[in-house]
Every structure is written in C-alpha cells, then in structure tokens.
A and B are shown apart, each in its own frame.
Chain A
Amino acid sequence: MFFRGATLALFLCAFGTDQGLGQGLSHRGYLETAVTAYPQAAPGDSGRWIGQSLLRYEPSYKLTPGFRVQASFDARTDTHRQAQRNWDLSFWDRTTQWPAFAVRQLSASYSRGPLSLELGKQFVRWGKTDILNPTDRFAPRDYLVVVDNEFLGVTAARLTLASQSDSLDLVFTPRLTPSRIPLLSQRWVVIPPAARGLTLNDAGARYPGGPQYGARWNHQGRAFESSLSFFQGFNHLPLLDTKLMANPLRIDVTRNYAKIRMWGADVAAPLPWFTLKAETAWFQSDTQQAGEYVLYVVQLERQHGEWLFIGGYAGEQVTRRSSVLSFSPDRGLARSLVGRASYTIDTNRSVTFEGVARQNGEGFYLKFEYSHAFGQHWRLTGQAVLLRGSESDFIGQYHRNSFGAIKLRYSF
C-alpha cells in the first residue's frame, strides 16, 4: 500500500497538471493486440487460441538538462487467465500472473559532468552479446511465454562515473525482483511423464531478504571495448522445491532464490570482416542446493547490405551440480548454436529468422517474423515459431508449443 501511495505521489510530482511543465514533458507508448494460435493442445492446457492486449504508456519529464524523471505503465488483459483480473497496481513484480496494472519503470535520474545517478524502478542492462547475457544480473525477465519474454525493471540506485574511455557502474537494489516463471497450470510448464495425472500447486515463494549490489567497469579502447563485472545477491531464476501432498493428491511447488556471486567479463571487437562479441560469467553460491557454473557466449556479427547476421555459441561448464529442480532458461539455452538473420526490405518492412539448436541435437527452436509498418502509427507483425526435440531437453520439452501469432500495434 505504501508503495502504491509513493508511486502515485512521485508520478503526480513528476508529471503534475501544471501546464508550465509541458515543454519538458514527452511521452510515447503503444496499444498492442495479439492473437496466438497453438496447433497442438498440451497436457493440462487445452487452450489453443489466446488473445491479449497491452497498453504501455511511457512519459518522461526533463526538469533541467541533467535532471529527468521517466516512467512506464502497463495495463494488460488476456483470454487465458495469464493476466490478473483485478484492479491492483503492481510495483514489485512478484505476482505469478501478469498484473493487470503495473508500474514498469519509475525513476529519477540526475547527471552532471562525468557523474550520473538514477534512483527508482529502472532497467539495468549489462553485457555485450545478444543471444544470451550471462553478466546481465539486474535484468529479471517475464517468462510466462518462455520463448517470447521481456525484461522487468528493478528498484535500484545506480551511480555511473564515466570518462571518455572508461565508465564505472555501481548498482544497489534493496530487494530481489524475481523473474516471472510460467504458470504451473499452463502449457509452458511441462509435467514429467512420471508425474502426469497429478496437479501442480503453486505453494508460493520464499523470497530472500537483503540487498543486492554490483559493479561494472567498462573500457573503450582503440581496437576493442571490454568490461569486468561483479554481482553479489540472488539469482532471479528460482530453485523449485517439490513436495508430494495428499488430500487432494498434488505436488506443491515452492520457489526459492539462491544466493549467488558472479564474476563476469565481456568484450566487443570490431574486426575487418565481422564484429566479435564475447561474454562470460562465473557463478558461485552459498546455497547448498544451487549449482555453480560458468556460462559463456561467443558471437560473430556482420552487416552486409540490408542483412544483419549474428551467429554464435553459448556454452556452460558446471563446477557443482544443483541438487534440486530449477527453472533456468539461461542455462537451458547454453550448449547451443544460435543464429539470427534479419533483412530490412525497406523503411517499413523487415523479416527476421532466428534459430537455436542444442549441441546434443535434442532440441531446436526456429522463429520467423515479418513486420510491416503502415503510416505513422500502425505496425503488423506475423510470427511463426517451431519447437522440436525430446522431453529431457530444455527446448525440446516444449515440442507441443509451436505457435503462430499476429500482433497489431498502434504507437503514439
């Protein structure tokens, strides 16, 4: 309740009705309606047609050249009970469903010379690669639809000191913002064959207390750009405690968040024929059930005429195995070859092809997208996603979830 009040107060202060503020005020946003069709039903989820609408409004106000308040608000509904049906306004993003109304971002930033400070709910993105970002630790995601996810903001204080060639980023968050994982009753949670017939029950989450913090130093050299990063906090992706319960017979699933420490590095080097980007992170944990591992990505990128090609490999080296189930799309996408090609047809039209193939051959994902803008405001996007593989593989387990989608967006 306090945060709802604080949110409203900050919003009113920032974007108040004083008409004199109009000059520094700008806004953008969109209304998007999407229809998704799944050709196959999934165990426990017979829904094959899903409609959803999202209204996103993003005002920002520049009080002085160095001081700015920015916000982003979402209102959402759908036909598949993925979105809540109440009037609550979510700030902390700890609901299992999409909140009907959410504060996606609400922060104030001040910059002067080499120093900039941002306070409030914001997006903190680290890393240089595109296909997977192991060092991107302040970037939880909404995985309700695993292969069509987006980032969640974190409530944080971020101080950046920058010179022309170097920058130091210091981030502090008072509490964890977890990634939103698929709903247990829906198709993006695949029940193992041995447990089929049992109901999965969401027994809630045990959120850890305490802050998280991290630092990243970035250097822009003549031949390459590189970073070193450190993070101390919690994994925003959960470990899953499962318990078989009677009356009624069910499996209770509880989400836990392991304490982690990350040491990371990334580099981008423009070379004559392509740009090399690489990123790696070593994860240690004091939580006994959690695994310890190294994730790394090497990708090559080349622009050729109107084509952009990105291809690479995401790898993993496990140093300690996890003793419990977890939901880990980042590790699930590791040990994979990843490629993406996009072509700009003209100023209004583009096509994108994307593919992921696990190196063991047990799962692959292909995506095709065509996007067409009409006039100044409208964009129509068609998507087709093919998922195949075996049930033991992170990607392969979703082999009944291939889908096609059409999205119509009105931007303002």
Chain B
Amino acid sequence: MQDLDKILSNYKGEKSDLIPLLQDIQSEYGYLSEELMREVSKFTGVPESEIYGVATFYTQFRFNPKGKKHIAVCSGTACHVTGAQQIIEGMERHLDIKDGETTPDGEYSLESVGCLGCCALAPAAMVDDEIKSKLSLRSIKKLFRGYNPEKPSK
C-alpha cells in the first residue's frame, strides 16, 4: 500500500482531515474498499463504523469500482424540464444497465447526479471530467457508437 502511505503523509490525521482524505483515496483507487477504510481508521483513530457512516452520507463516495468511462447525468431542474429523464432512460437502454450500475465488462458506469451547474445548455451530463451539453437522444447515440452491451469488450 505504497500509494496509500503517500496520500496519508499529506495529512496530520486529525478528524477534520477525514473527508479530504477519503476524497484523495477515492481519486487514486476509484472507490473506497473495506481494506482502505480500515487503514484510514488506524491512521485517524476514528472508528471504522464512523468512517463508513461519514462516507455513506456523501454521494461522492463509492464502495465498488466504477466503469472505465463514468457517466453522470445531471438531474437538475433545467435538465429535468428539457428531458433529462429521457436521456437517462436512453442511456440505460444503450448500455443495458440501470442508473447506478456498471456494465458487466467494466466499460461504462452510469448514475444520475445533482445539478452540474450547466443549466443554460441543458440537458447535460459529465463523461469522466468532461461536460457534454445540449444532449438529445440522437447525440447520446453518438456517444456510445461502436459499443454493444451484448458483445462486451474483453
């Protein structure tokens, strides 16, 4: 756990370090595993149960790996009134997974999230770190061009 030690070395182990620490760990490992949370508990002296309590409170934290490409569809008001629900359902059909799931081949994960703040160009979604705006059922087709959930890539 060399990478973990490196992350921990940036912190003093105070309780107020907990959330930034979990954020750093998640951005390195992609999600928070039981093992990692145990290490954080040792480091901060905060009980594991409490760390789990904090981590599950915030939607940012994940407890299983996400796909190679992570799609976060905005469900803010402006996106909602311009058809976000159709967009997420369209993506679910394309990927053959439900909101919050990862494709079995680990290529894509999909979730609907709170407002991304791109309301003027609604509906919007974040693909990894890039915001895609003015989405339509046609434009999402392009997003998944060449991907077939029934013939997963290896």
Do A and B share a complex?
Answer: no
Show the binding face of A for B, using Cβ within 8 Å. Answer: none
